[in-house]
Structure 1
Amino acid sequence: VIFAKALHVPYRAVSSVDELAVAIQDMSQTHRIFIDTPGLSPKDMNGIRRLRNMLQAVASIKVELVVSATTRDLEIHEQGKAFSTINPESLIFTRLDESYSFGSIYSLSSRLHLPVSVFSTGRKVTEEWENASAERLTASILNIL
């Protein structure tokens, strides 16, 4: 709630497929709708299954998995493996400005066979987004940016 207020974006708490469908319908004119999963651990397969079932019950929804670039390799791969069951179409990597290593971005994208759609830097969440590109990732990996 606090994060949504700070960004001046609508917020809805939902706990059922019907509530999710209504929230998505109400926000259908927006470019992206973020579904936060507070406390949903990659080890909570029942929780991930419930999330997958909710997302599948709502027609015409594109799922993008948001991952912090500061996450260690082991954890990022475990998160990717666990959340791949929600069938994301692409990856969004945040916190590039705080990361010192970028190989895990390529590695996760390759392992999951998913494109990276967005890179994010800074605190102004969507204002500091850029479309992901191979050139940007390569430059980051080689530390030439």
Structure 2
Amino acid sequence: MGWAEAVRIEPADDAMFRERDAWRYDPPYDFYNSDGMPVKNPERFFAARDDDGALVGFYFFELHDDALFYGFGLRPDLTGRGLGERFVLAGLELARPVYGQRRVVLDVAAFNTRAVRLYRRLGFTETGRHTETFDGRGAVEFIDMEKPG
């Protein structure tokens, strides 16, 4: 069937970060281009690969008190094709045995309305908003969201 059934999730390595650095999203999603910026806590990243070993996305997990902060990215050519739900759920399934049944939190750029809709559909609710400033981009508003454990 689709690649999501066959996705292999493994700890990230330098090759994964180099491949991810080459990804280019179309505006306004180009905000998510990593542009070779150094990665903090690379040990908290996981690569998602298809049967052929091609990188389809990545996951990031970090404990924040009683919650698990969840981050991820889907390869640019796979976005907007209805694959996000299965991709997000696969990451949550990966995390459960490692981090237990706990509240999951994430933040999303407010302009990313397709992601916000997806997270709401998956049971995440808005808990607040914050703004971060980025070189070359200025202030970007984020929506803080959470899903009960």
Q: Per residue, is there more strand in 1 or in 2?
A: 2
TM score, norm. by length of structure 1: 0.39
Please identify the structure whose Cα radius of gyration is greater.
1
Q: Per residue, is there more helix in 1 or in 2?
A: 1
